[in-house]
Structure 1
Amino acid sequence: MRKPIVAALAAASVLLAGCEQGIPPEALAISQVSVEKRQLQTRYFETEDESLLLNASVAVLQDLGFTLEESETDLGVLLATKDRDATEAGQIAGAILLGVLTGVYVPTDRNQKIRVSVVTRPLDDGRGRTAVRATFQRLVWDTQGNLSKIEGLNEPELYQGFFEKLAQSVFLEAQEI
């Protein structure tokens, strides 16, 4: 009768000892890759007017062919998408070759949706600035209608182009042009 009680007490003490250690500090550390992505995706504007930034962002996204899907201006969030063809000649050629050699049908990418989210956040730095973070993502469906890829788009040129257009749009919005 004592053996099960002793075993239960031993197990409980091991569990409690593990709880005392808590979360290791490295689990909460931000990786260098995450810091670099955040720097790529974020720009700072010398205004506290989030609605100005959001309106300018909508104008830029629409100029780039995106359709506004969701907008929570009170929270400083926009979500927009655009549909594109995802067909790649090399992928199709490979699928045909594999089909001829093995007799197996290989689905290929057909459609993609480019999704962008824009989030504004006022900074408490005493300088009246607002951070704007944009993230681009690509979702791809194959010829069978299955979602085959979800990937972040991290090309610096994409973000540089977006933020240059946004800076121009903010200037035009501020000047009411």
Structure 2
Amino acid sequence: MDRENTLRTIIATLQDLGFVVDKADGTLGTVSATKLDQYALRMTVTVRPRGQNQMLVRANAQYNIRAVEDPEPYQRFFDALAQAMFLTAHQVD
């Protein structure tokens, strides 16, 4: 999967998880989104090439001005992203 498709899948995944995309920059390979569900959780996801055939995806979450150290929001995001990327790669709707 190329960078553009990876970014599109990330945006769809964040939206599926209840986030509102604040900013997406295809040139930089970043997506920032906010989820308002009892508290404001902001997640920024970065995509960059890793070798010839791979993309490296990094996610950072913040609650107010503090980094989120609880692994649960990250795990939920990456589980959903893995499933979405599998479905996209196999062209399943």
Place the TM-score, normalised by the shorter chain, in its bin: 0.7 to 0.9
Q: Does 1:161 align with 2:86?
A: no
- After TM superposition, the structure 1 = structure 2 runs for residues 1-177 of structure 1, keeping only pairs within 5 Å, are 47=1, 49-85=2-38, 112-124=39-51, 126=52, 128-139=53-64, 150-177=65-92
* CA drift at 1:175: 2.3
* CA drift at 1:72: 0.5
Kept after mapping to 2: 8 A contact 1:54/1:78: yes
Name the count of aligned residue pairs: 92
What is the TM-score normalised by the length of structure 1? 0.48
* CA drift at 1:170: 0.6
Kept after mapping to 2: 8 A contact 1:137/1:151: yes
* CA drift at 1:133: 0.2
**Structure that is richer in helix per residue:** 1
Name the CA distance, whole Å, in 2 between partners of 1:174 and 1:51.
13
* Gap runs ≥5 in structure 2: none
* Gap runs ≥5 in structure 1: 1-46, 86-111, 140-149
RMSD: 1.4
**Structure that is richer in strand per residue:** 2
Name the CA distance, whole Å, in 2 between partners of 1:81 and 1:53.
19
Identity across aligned pairs (percent)?
A: 38
Larger radius of gyration: 1
